[in-house]
Amino acid sequence: MLEQAVSNLISDDATLSRKQLAMRDRESELLLIACSIVEREGFAQLNMDKLAAASSYSKGTIYNHFNSKEDLFAALAIQALSKKIPLFKSALDFEGSSREKLIAMHAGMHLFSKLSPILAMCALVSRTPAVTEKSAPERLEKLNTLEDLVVSFGDKFIELGQSSGDITLAPGITSDSIVFANWAMAFGTSSLVNNATQSSCVSRQHDTNIVLQNLNFLLDGMRWMPLSCDFDYQKTWDRAEKDLFGEEVALIENQS
């Protein structure tokens, strides 16, 4: 059921005509160019003129794909979310306890935001009213559908935790509460890590894994076993990075 939702949303090559496929390819191409402009010159410097100039298409064609600049941002956010789905799937198959799987998922998300900071940022920016107010309703709907899909993947982790007895929901606490708390913590932590770097309480802890630290506080508070005092989740984190992003991590390490 989930699998079907994924294939409907992500890759449905068989049911698309050649023209539609070409359209989709061109859209990916444009999104790639948009990313590279943002990477090189910053968010404020991305505009439709530059995108047209940097691509081999005219402004009119660009507007055939994105009905406004904000719509373009939303499209980038959708791409970011789409790329995250496979990470959720891999994390569910990650070798280890339910809490280890969940941590693998967060490690994947965090690494994604380090490897594709621009795409990750788009997910933030696209949640901003300046964007939602002007992007196409269909695009926003797709973004919401994808987000709901991610939430249902989140549910799977909770189910695993419950069936293995690693977590028991206290009265008044629903599966949604747990998913939401994880989402809020991940969103808040990476927003601040990416954008509040000048703040003392962020910059002072460069050597510690503050993302894992925050996550351990949260999961310990939910009493998701084993607790962080009884298990070395940093090892899980490292292993997850290797498993989910082996090649990419090696690349980063070679650069520095």
Chain residues in the site for DNA (CB under 7 A): 19, 23, 47-49, 56-61, 63-64, 67-70, 134
Other CB atoms within 10 Å distance of the CB of residue 30: 21
Q: Which does 254 bind (CB under 5 to 8 A by kind): its own copies, DNA, none?
A: none
**Under the criterion CB under 8 A, does residue 225 sit at the interface with its own copies?**
no
Please give the Cα distance from 202 to 63 (Å, whole number).
40
**Under the criterion CB under 8 A, does residue 138 sit at the interface with its own copies?**
no
**Under the criterion CB under 8 A, does residue 128 sit at the interface with its own copies?**
yes
* C-beta of 22 vs 43, nearer to its own copies: 43
* C-beta of 62 vs 240, nearer to DNA: 62
**Shortest distance (Å) from residue 63 CB to DNA:** 4
Tokens of 101: 């799987």
**Shortest distance (Å) from residue 22 CB to its own copies:** 32
Written as one string, the DSSP assignment of 100-148 is HHHHHHHHHHHHHHHHSHHHHHHHHHTTSHHHHTTS-HHHHHHHHHHHH
**Under the criterion CB under 8 A, does residue 9 sit at the interface with its own copies?**
no
**Under the criterion CB under 8 A, does residue 191 sit at the interface with its own copies?**
yes
The alpha carbon dihedral of 179, 182, 185, 187 has a sign of: negative
**Under the criterion CB under 8 A, does residue 174 sit at the interface with its own copies?**
yes
**Under the criterion CB under 8 A, does residue 159 sit at the interface with its own copies?**
no
**Under the criterion CB under 8 A, does residue 137 sit at the interface with its own copies?**
no
Q: Pick from 23, 25, 42, 95: which binds its own copies (CB under 8 A)?
A: 42
- Strands, E assignment, 158-202: none
Tokens of 187: 């969103």
Q: Which does 133 bind (CB under 5 to 8 A by kind): DNA, its own copies, none?
A: its own copies
Residue with tokens 């999961």: 219
Please give the Cα distance from 193 to 236 (Å, whole number).
21
Q: Buried b vs exposed e over 88-103: b needs ≥16 C-beta within 10 Å? A: bebbbebebbbbbbbb
3 state SS of 76: helix
**Shortest distance (Å) from residue 19 CB to DNA:** 6
Tokens of 250: 């090696």
Contact residues: its own copies, CB under 8 A: 42-44, 70, 121, 124-125, 127-130, 132-134, 144, 147-148, 151, 154, 170, 172-174, 176-177, 179-181, 183-189, 191-192, 195-196, 198-202, 204-205, 208, 210, 213-214, 216-222, 229
